[in-house]
Amino acid sequence: MFYFNRAPFYPSSPEEVEQMGKVLAFKERLDAQGAFYWEYNGPDEFERKVREDLTQVILRWGKDEGGAMLPQPPILITSIEPPRRDFLVQDGKRRRIPDNPTLRAVMKKLGIKEIRPLSEKAIYEYPCGDAVPSEAPRIVQDSGGTKYLVAREEKGRIPNDETLKALGGDPRSSVPTEDEYLASLREGLPLPEQLGEQWFTSERRLEWVNLGFISEFLVCGRICRYIPQREWLDELMERLSISRIEIDEQKLESYVEGVPIGSERDVQTVLLQLCAKGSGGALV
């Protein structure tokens, strides 16, 4: 793979003129031999072109003589260009990962330790498959009205309204009744009845993801809720007194993960709850 820079260049010495002549002569020899080469303008375009071309080479390695995809271990890829979008590549197809809780669940379930950044063009070289079903925690109830937190093939009975609100539920709102689905789930850890008075937000770096992206959580007692948008975290930090604490992956696993904060309305509800408690907080 050969690349030549087309950006304007003005030699400042006889030696540079000589070097330019050698580069042009080498380019002519490639032409004469029928070799392929590419041109680019400046280092930014060079980086993009090389990344895309290497991706194409890797994709061709995964195909048989007829062009069909050979079996490959699943990988995770993410878009370089904003907004960030994550995909699971499985059986030769890209599957959209809808949210951060699902991304973390997929990494844990499949034992994947890194996410590969690719350009939009390289991502769409993979045929589109079905989206990965969300594994974000949600709240459902049985026909008797008992509410449960369900996530990752587990269920936990919600003991009271205080715990329900900490998990992101609303005692005044109805939730889906799913008896058959609940029967298929195994019992998870019991949810706490007493949450305590300390509310705090947590921030941790996912060291097992090579991109080093950050996940933010709002934590009450032993319950945490994922915050998907930075501006919502900024609003909570602005309105509350928050210090910083660092925790590791094992420590985070000890929390019960509630429903992600999914709207500005959720943020305002949380602020009302926190202000009513008069609690400060800590950034973890």
Same-domain status, 43 and 162: no
Q: How many domains does the chain have?
A: 3
Q: Could you tell me the residue range of the domain that residue 56 belongs to?
A: 2-61
Using only the alpha carbons of the chain, give its radius of gyration. Answer: 26
Residue 131 lies inside a defined structural domain of this protein: no
pLDDT the model gives residue 245:
60
Same-domain status, 261 and 186: yes
CA-CA distance, 32 to 51, in Å (whole number)? 27
Same-domain status, 111 and 148: no
pLDDT the model gives residue 63:
59
Same-domain status, 113 and 149: no
Q: CA torsion 68→72→75→80, rounded to 10°?
A: -40
Residue type, 167: L
Q: Which residue has the tokens 């980086």?
A: 47
Last residue of a domain, one of 61, 85, 112: 61
Same-domain status, 183 and 278: yes
Residue 69 lies inside a defined structural domain of this protein: no
Same-domain status, 226 and 256: yes
Residue 189 lies inside a defined structural domain of this protein: yes
pLDDT the model gives residue 172:
86
pLDDT the model gives residue 203:
39
Same-domain status, 216 and 159: yes
Whole-structure pTM value: 0.61
* Tokens describing residue 216: 């933010």
Which DSSP letter does residue 211 get?
A: T
Residue 66 lies inside a defined structural domain of this protein: no
Residue 23 lies inside a defined structural domain of this protein: yes
Residue 190 lies inside a defined structural domain of this protein: yes
CA-CA distance, 152 to 47, in Å (whole number)? 39
- Give the CA angle between residues 84, 89, 93 to the nearest 5°: 110
Q: What percent of the chain has pLDDT over 90?
A: 14
Same-domain status, 103 and 192: no
Over its length of 284 residues, how does the chain's per-residue pLDDT go in tens digits?
788 888 888 888 888 888 888 988 898 888 777 777 788 888 888 888 888 777 776 666 655 556 555 567 888 988 887 778 899 998 888 999 998 888 888 988 888 888 888 888 888 888 899 999 998 899 999 999 999 999 878 899 998 888 888 888 888 888 899 999 999 998 886 676 665 444 444 433 323 223 345 577 777 667 788 888 878 877 877 776 655 566 666 677 777 888 988 888 888 887 777 665 554 444 44
CA-CA distance, 226 to 65, in Å (whole number)? 46
pLDDT the model gives residue 73:
83
Same-domain status, 14 and 112: no
Same-domain status, 30 and 79: no
Same-domain status, 189 and 241: yes
Residue 216 lies inside a defined structural domain of this protein: yes
Residue 171 lies inside a defined structural domain of this protein: yes
- On whether the CB atoms of residues 46 and 83 are closer than 8 A, the answer is no
DSSP bridge pairs for 221: none
Same-domain status, 116 and 57: no
